[in-house]
Copies of this chain bind each other. A is one copy, B any other.
Amino acid sequence: MKTKLTGKSLLSSSAVKKLRIELDRLKVQAALFFKRSDIFYLTGMDTAGVLIIKEAEALLYYPATEREILTNKNPLKIKLREYITALPWKEIFNRIGQTGRPGRTGCLEIALDIKGLDFKRYGIIKENCRNILDLDGFVRDMRVIKTRAEVELIKRSASHTVKIMDSIKIKEWEGKTEAALAGYISTRTWENGMSGPAFTPIVSTLKNSVYPHHIPGRDIIRDLVMIDMGSKYKGYCSDLTRTFILDKFINDSALNGFYESLERAKENAVSVLKPGVRCDRVYREAKESLEKDNLADYFIHGLGHGVGIDIHERPFLRAGCKEILKEGMVVTVEPGIYIKGSGGIRLEDMYIITKKGSQKLTKKYL
C-alpha cells in the first residue's frame, strides 16, 4: 500500500527516543522491525523492508520497488539502504555488530517483537544472533494510544469515509449490481486524494448479507443492502458499516425488529466504552443486549477492533480479551446478526476513548 506521507513524521522522534531507552534497559545492540505499519509509525516512511534502531543510528533497508515513494520523504533523516527482492541478511548482521564466531555472520544481542514474526525469518535471525530479546509489544503498546496528531488524521479519514457513504443515494442503486456499487465506492475512495480504500469494500444484498465477508458480485441490489467500507488518509484507516433496508422490506416487522435490537446492542456497548473497562466487557454488553431479544446466537463475530495505521489492530473487543481500555484508544463498535432467510444486518462506527467515556469519530468534520 502506498500512502501519501505527511512530510514530517508524526511522532517518530519521540517514539524512537522511547525505544532507545528501552534498548538501553534491555542491553541489546539493536532492535529490528519488519512490520510495515511499525516502520511507518517509527519513521514516517510507508515501506516494506527492515528498520534497524541502534543507539547511535537508525538504518532502513527497503526494496528497490519502494524507491520512488521514499525520495524526499525521510523526515528523520534515517540512513537508507536499497535491496532487490531478497533482504541482504549477511550485510544486515554485519552492520549491527562484528562477528564473534568464525563462519558466522554475527554474534549479536538484539531485540525483536517476536509475536507475529514468521517462523522462517525467526530461524534466520536465531541462527545469526547469540541472544534475542522479546520487545513484547513495546511499539504496539505505544501505537494503541493515539497522539493528538494521529487522532486528527483518523478523524479526517473517518470524515472522508462518511462523506462517501452519505453520497450513496441507495434508491438509485436499487436494480444495479453489488459490483457496480463497490466500484463506485472504490473510485470515490481512490479519487478523494487520500491513499485509497483501507480494504476491499463489502457490498451485499439480501441473500448475500448473511455472509459477513461477502465479496461483491453481479447480484442485483434489492430489499436490503449492507455496505462495509473504509479509506486511508495519510496512512491512517477508517471503517464504517451501514445496512439499508429498502422499500419493499421497510414494513417487514421481523427485519425492523432485528434492526432495532441491533441498534440497542450497539448503544449499550458504546455506553460502557470508557477508560478502565476490559475489552471483553464491552463485547459482553452487546451480546447480553441481543440475548434479551433472543438474537445472541446470530451474533457470530467479535464486537470491534482498534483502528490506526492498520485497519485491524489492538485492542480487540471480543470474548476473552483482557486488555483494559485507556484514553486515546480508537475502536470500532460493530455488532451484526446474520439470519438465513431474513438477511444480515451490521452497524458500525468508530469511537475514541476519552477521559470519561467515548466520542464518535465517524462523522463529518470538514
Contacts and interface: CB of A to CB of B under 8 A. Distances in A.
Interface in A114-129: 114-120, 122
Nearest to A218: B191
Contact of A320 (B86, B115, B187, B301): B86
Interface string A191-231: 11101110010000000001111111110000000000000
Copies held by the complex: 2
Given A1-B215, A187-B179, A195-B215, A84 B300 contact: yes
B65 A213 contact: yes
B85 A319 contact: yes
Interface of A: 1-2, 63-69, 84-86, 114-120, 122, 177-180, 182-184, 186-193, 195-197, 200, 210-218, 300-302, 318-320, 338, 340
A67 to B, nearest CB: 7
Q: Which of A1, A84, A340 has the most CB of B within 10 A?
A: A84
Nearest to A68: B211
A182 B190 contact: yes
Given A119-B115, A119-B118, A183 B187 contact: yes
Contacts of A116: 118-120
A262 B114 CA distance: 42
- Of A114, A122, A190, A301, the most chain B CB neighbours within 10 A belong to A190
A314 to B, nearest CB: 13
Contact of A187 (B122, B182, B214): B182
A300 B84 CA distance: 6
Query: 8 closest A-B pairs (Cβ-Cβ)?
Result: A183-B187, A179-B190, A64-B300, A179-B191, A68-B211, A183-B183, A115-B120, A2-B215
Contact of A183 (B177, B186, B318): B186
A295 to B, nearest CB: 14
A320 B115 CA distance: 28
12 contacts: A65-B213, A68-B211, A84-B301, A115-B119, A116-B119, A116-B120, A177-B187, A178-B190, A182-B190, A190-B218, A192-B218, A196-B216
Among A65, A86, A215: residue with most chain B CB under 10 A: A215
